[in-house]
Amino acid sequence: MSSSPAVKLIAFFGSPYAHRAEAALCLKGVPYELLLEDLLRTKSDLLLQHNPVHKKVPVLLHGDRTVCESLVIAEYVDEAFDGPPLLPTDPYDRAVARFWADFIENKLTKPFFMAHWVEGEAREGFEKEGLELLALLEAQLKGNKFFGGDRPGYLDIAASMLGPWRSVVEEVTGVTVAKEEEHPSLCQWARDYSSNEALRPCIPDRDRLLAYFTKNKEMYRAGVRAMLQQ
C-alpha cells in the first residue's frame, strides 16, 4: 500500500465522543494529528466546513475524505487501515457488538448519567433504570477483560464513557451508581480500559478532566434540568 494521506481529527478536550474516534485510531495503530476546538467559544471554520450537517466533533479528515459520527468513524478506521481488527470478523459476533453499542448509545447512556446529575426525587427513577441496564451490559463482559476479548475493540470504544468519564462524574456530583460490589466486572473493566497501553495516548488526563467537569458543573446541571422539563 502506498504511503497513506495524513489523518487529522477535529476534537475537543473532554468530549467522550471525540475520545471514541481517538481510541479507534490508537487501537488500530494509525498516526494522527489532533486539532482541538474550544467549543465553548465559536466553532472553527474547519469544523463548520467539514461537518455542516451536525457542526459537531469528532470529525475525521483522511486526505480529502471527511467522516463524522464517532461510531461511524470507528468502523471506518477499522476498514480503511491495516491493523488489529476492532470489530470481530464473524458476522454474528459483529451483530452482537453492534447491538450492544446501540444499547449503550440509545438506551443506557441517558438514564445512567442522568442518575448522577439529576437532583431530588427524579433521581431515583433514573438510578433504578440505569442499574437495570448496567447489569445487562455487565453480563456481556462474560469473564473477559474487555468486551472485545483480551484486548479492547469496537464495543469497548462504544462503552468508553463508562470508564474515565464515569469516574470523574462520580467525583464531581458525589453520586455513585455503578458500585464495586454490584458491578465488579464493569468497575474492573473501567480500570483496565484506562490503563491499557495502546489507549494511553488518548485517555484524558484525569485531573484535567476533573477540572473541566468541575468548572462546567452548573452548566451540566442546568442542561439536565432543562431536559427534564421537556
Partner 1 sequence: MAGDGELKLLGMWASPYVTRAKLALQIKGQSYEYVEEDLGNKSELLLSSNPVHKAVPVLIHDGKPVCESSVVVQYIDEAFAGAGPSLLPADPYERAVARFWAAYLEDKLVAPWMRLFRVKTDEEMAEVMRQMIAAADALEGGLKQCSEGKGPFFGGESVGYVDVLLGGMISWVKATEVFTGAKIIDAAKMPLLAAWMERFCELDAARAVLQDVGALVETEYARAVQARFAAAAPNN
Among residues 128, 58, 126, 137, which one has the least CA distance to residue 100? 137
Which member of 41, 45, 91, 143 binds partner 1 (CB under 8 A)? Answer: 91
8 Å CB contact between 116 and 175: yes
128 forms part of the interface with partner 1 (CB under 8 A): no
31 touching partner 1, by CB under 8 A:
no
Q: Which stretch binds partner 1 (CB under 8 A): 3-11, 66-74, 155-163, 198-206?
A: 66-74
Number of residues this chain uses to bind partner 1 (CB under 8 A): 24
142: region left, alpha or beta (phi > 0 left; psi from -120 to 50 alpha):
left
The only residue of 37, 69, 127, 156 in contact with partner 1, by rule CB under 8 A:
69
Check if the beta carbon of residue 59 is closer than 8 Å to that of residue 66.
yes
Asked if 72 is part of the footprint of partner 1 (rule: CB under 8 A), the reply reads yes
149 Rama sector, left if φ>0, alpha if ψ -120 to 50, beta otherwise: left
Provide, rounded to whole angstroms, the least separation between the CB of residue 211 and partner 1: 32
Q: Which three cell numbers stand for residue 173?
A: 456530583
73 binds partner 1 (CB under 8 A): yes
**How far apart are CB 95 and partner 1 at their closest, in Å?**
4
Q: Which stretch binds partner 1 (CB under 8 A): 8-16, 28-36, 88-96, 148-156?
A: 88-96
CA distances for 28 relative to 22, 35, 76, 188, 222, angstroms = 10, 19, 11, 23, 38
Which region, judged by CB under 8 A, interacts with partner 1, from 35-43, 90-98, 151-159, 163-171? 90-98
Q: 7-11 and 33-36 as β-strands: parallel, antiparallel, unpaired?
A: parallel
- Which residue's CB is nearer to partner 1, number 71 or number 202? 71
**Cα(31)–Cα(41) distance, rounded to whole angstroms?**
28
- In whole angstroms, the minimum distance from the beta carbon of 135 to partner 1 comes to 11
102 contacts partner 1 (rule: CB under 8 A): yes
* Residue 103 engages partner 1 in binding (rule: CB under 8 A): yes
